[in-house]
Amino acid sequence: MNIKTNILLLALFANLSMMAQSNGVIDEVIWVVGDEAILRSEVEEERLRAQYEGTQIKGDPYCVIPEQLAVQKLFLHQAELDSIEANESSVSHQVDMRLNYYINQIGSKEKMEEYFRKTSSEIREEMMTAVRNQMIIQQMQAKLTQNIKPTPADIRRYYNTLPADSIPMMPAQVEVQILSFEPPVPIEEIERVKARLREFTERVQSGSTDFGMLARLYSEDTESAKRGGELGFVGRGQLVTEFADVAFNLNDPKRVSRIVQTEYGYHIIQLIEKKGERINCRHILLRPRISATDKVKAIERLDSISKEIKAGNLQFEQAVTKFSEDKNTVMNAGLMINPNTGSSRFEYQDLAPEIAKQIYNMQEGDISQPFVMMDPIKNREVCAIVRLQKKTDVHRANLTDDFQTIKAMLEQKLSQEFIHDWIIKKQKTTYIQIDPEWQGCDFEFPGWIH
């Protein structure tokens, strides 16, 4: 870096600090990384956000946070050179989810604005920047470490060098197959639900009742009901097809849609606002009730299927293909996939309580008695039987049963080492200036102060 560039960046550091003071704002530039400034206010905001979200900062926040921001700027600068950009639709979706979370936790949009001392639009813009940067950094790190692919021999060597007390204990895990279907719903019950929704529509369009109030009182989508049925801005791909087709054709916020049937039940929808390819709307969801008699009939049907399997007249996999209505498992011979890991292994606490209760004392190959459970996705009652395909007790990780876990450990270790070395190299080629009052820290990467 030449002398002229150094002088210009020092001037930037000084001028930004003076601008903050001249505007009457209690703020100052505390770091400059490349041509990017880090402000005291940024550090304070990150500290407050961590405090609100319950994120523990290991060490002095006035040392840890500025360094984290500086590291982020190194990645963002490299990402700019490599033309890495975030998907704006994904950014907006994440921001909507975070805003809805804050509003739910704090109580209202007004209280959120009071807490952060900013308007909701200002909070949203800041979140957009933060989430966008986070996604870009993740992509940059993934690009930097994309060639880290240890061989099976590397993994075995790594495992053999681990001290015994460093080998993780693996919890008890199970692999489960499921066959489930919904008891039939009588036509009379469906008509009752539709009539109720038609009544809501008439009340809203006559002006006698507010849609949001009805959603709070009656909608069976409990999360959106807390917000008066509001879903927040979403893209078409984030909604089930039947719902999206109707919602995106709405144009008048004063009107209510026709009744829409989806896998979750029956809905009516009201438009709030459209922004390009995204929409914010509110809805009311009602689900038909299944009678006790229909549940008994479904249980009896499952009992007959179970007996056929146990008698050897039918394979469980064949029964799944023929009878199961669980679209998430029917093409996989009923094998359940853990949404948290993408594998077929579950710890007991990751399973639906009704399933965990059934399989706890079962042996491999056993089939449960028929039972009723809540479908975790549709939030509706279904009748099911499960088969315990595999059971692994608590044990220390080994190469036979836990190869993928050990591989992931090694990949994480190698990636962390590579990123650590990359940051150290980047420090040496980047202009860095730190206010003297902020230099007395035990930094994770000591190369900030040349």
CATH fold for the domain made of 170-184+291-396: Chitinase A; domain 3 (3.10.50)
CATH 3.10.50.40 residue ranges for the chain: 170-184+291-396, 187-286
* Contact (CB, 8 A) for 316 and 367: yes
Beta pairing class for 265-275 and 260-262:
antiparallel
- What is the rounded distance in angstroms from the CA atom of residue 157 to the CA atom of residue 195? 67
pLDDT of residue 51: 80
- What is the rounded distance in angstroms from the CA atom of residue 106 to the CA atom of residue 112? 6
Give the Cα-Cα-Cα angle 251, 257, 262 (nearest 5 degrees): 120
* Contact (CB, 8 A) for 270 and 251: no
* 303 token code pair: 């009992």
User: Exposed/middle/buried for 169, CB within 10 Å: 0-12, 13-18, 19+?
Assistant: exposed
In three-state secondary structure terms, 226 is coil
From residue 140, give the alpha-carbon distance in Å to each of 93, 168, 444: 21, 30, 20
* Contact (CB, 8 A) for 179 and 303: no
- What is the rounded distance in angstroms from the CA atom of residue 193 to the CA atom of residue 198? 9
Residue showing tokens 């982020």? 72
From residue 444, give the alpha-carbon distance in Å to each of 67, 70, 438: 8, 12, 14
* Contact (CB, 8 A) for 62 and 43: yes
- Please provide the DSSP assignment of 337-373 as one string: --TTTSSS-B-GGGS-HHHHHHHTT--TT-BPPPEEE
Q: Could you count the other beta carbons within 10 Å of the beta carbon of residue 380?
A: 16
* Contact (CB, 8 A) for 251 and 186: no
CATH 1.10.4030 residue ranges for the chain: 3-141+432-448
pLDDT of residue 53: 72
CATH fold for the domain made of 187-286: Chitinase A; domain 3 (3.10.50)
pLDDT of residue 26: 61
pLDDT tens, residue order, the chain (450 aa): 443 334 333 333 334 343 344 344 468 999 999 889 999 988 988 888 788 777 888 889 999 999 999 999 999 999 999 999 998 878 888 888 888 888 878 888 888 888 878 888 888 898 899 899 999 999 999 999 999 999 999 999 999 999 999 999 999 999 999 999 988 888 999 999 999 999 999 999 999 999 999 999 999 998 899 889 999 888 888 899 999 999 999 999 989 999 999 988 999 999 999 988 889 999 999 998 888 888 899 999 999 999 999 999 999 999 999 999 888 899 999 999 998 888 899 999 999 999 999 999 999 999 999 999 988 776 778 899 999 999 999 999 999 989 989 999 999 999 999 999 999 999 999 999 999 999 989 999 988 987
* Contact (CB, 8 A) for 388 and 362: yes
The beta-strand segments (E) located in 141-214 are: 169-170, 173-181
pTM for this model (two decimals): 0.63
User: Is the alpha carbon torsion for 389, 391, 392, 394 positive or negative?
Assistant: positive
Beta pairing class for 36-39 and 278-286:
unpaired
CATH fold for the domain made of 3-141+432-448: Triger factor/SurA peptide-binding fold (1.10.4030)
